[in-house]
Chains A and B, each alone.
Chain A
Amino acid sequence: SQKIEQNSEALNIQEGKTATLTCNYTNYSPAYLQWYRQDPGRGPVFLLLIRENEKEKRKERLKVTFDTTLKQSLFHITASQPADSATYLCAPTSGTYKYIFGTGTRLKVLA
């Protein structure tokens, strides 16, 4: 069955450093992969989408890479700020539009 793995342990980093979060998937070939941010008590909010034929995508301080050979996506936040503290979810998506999410990684940026 399809499986999505994100680091379940919280990631603590110092303000100003680059945070790198990992999303690994198995048993399917997504056409694209999405990243979302979720704050406590709120619904997820879309951040970035990268397609299978794209290696890298950037948006302001965010960068996503997508390696279909490794079946992995990396999500980077550069110059991290305490306001970036949240849970980040990945969703590798095939053409069926059945959106399955990873368990998320909780990021805490320390001032």
Chain B
Amino acid sequence: NAGVTQTPKFRILKIGQSMTLQCTQDMNHNYMYWYRQDPGMGLKLIYYSVGAGITDKGEVPNGYNVSRSTTEDFPLRLELAAPSQTSVYFCASTALAEAFFGQGTRLTVV
């Protein structure tokens, strides 16, 4: 019973590099989310999706891209990484109300 799985758990990127954070859920949830959480701060919504093929911007979408080709997967793409993108990234999914979160990806951009 995996729930929401994020990979990798940790990553160090150099400025200008790109990468994809992976998120997959096995609960057949329609709704999926990406958040970032800076140290001592709350969760900020980056992008969300209400179903396969449908995505929308959250509070802080700049510098990120997403796609949702299947119900299970919701990858987050960082293009041209910047130090300001150093953060912990959480993926979440929900069917109706209660959201389930992954364990997070700690990203450092140097």
- The tally of residues in A whose CB lies under 8 Å from a CB in B reads 22
Q: Which residue of B35, B48, B99 is within 8 Å of A46 (Cβ)?
A: B99
Whether A99 contacts B103 by the Cβ 8 Å rule is no
Whether A44 contacts B98 by the Cβ 8 Å rule is no
Whether B101 contacts A99 by the Cβ 8 Å rule is no
- The tally of residues in B whose CB lies under 8 Å from a CB in A reads 24
Q: Which residue of B45, B90, B98 is within 8 Å of A43 (Cβ)?
A: B90
Q: Residue A45 at the B interface, CB < 8 A?
A: yes
Task: Give Cα distance in the complex from A101 to B100, angstroms.
Answer: 14
> B93-109 CB contact bits vs A (8 Å, 1 = yes)?
01001111111100000
Q: Residue B58 at the A interface, CB < 8 A?
A: yes
Task: Give Cα distance in the complex from A15 to B59, angstroms.
Answer: 37
Q: Report if A102-B42 is in contact (Cβ < 8 Å); known contacts: A49-B97, A97-B94.
A: yes
Determine the chain A residues whose CB is within 8 A of the CB of B100 once the complex forms: 46
Q: Residue B81 at the A interface, CB < 8 A?
A: no
Q: Which residue of B42, B48, B98 is within 8 Å of A98 (Cβ)?
A: B48
Q: Residue B41 at the A interface, CB < 8 A?
A: yes
Task: Give Cα distance in the complex from A104 to B48, angstroms.
Answer: 21
Q: Residue B66 at the A interface, CB < 8 A?
A: no
Q: List residues of chain B with CB under 8 Å of any chain A CB.
A: 4, 31, 33, 35, 41-43, 45, 48, 50, 56, 58-59, 90, 92, 94, 97-104
What would 15 A/B residue contacts be, using CB atoms closer than 8 Å? Answer: A42-B104, A43-B90, A44-B43, A45-B101, A46-B98, A93-B97, A97-B50, A97-B94, A98-B48, A99-B45, A100-B59, A101-B35, A101-B42, A101-B43, A103-B41
Given A34-B98, A43-B4, A101-B43, 14 more A-B residue pairs with CB atoms under 8 Å apart are A6-B42, A34-B97, A34-B99, A42-B103, A44-B101, A49-B98, A97-B50, A98-B58, A99-B45, A99-B92, A99-B99, A101-B35, A101-B45, A104-B42
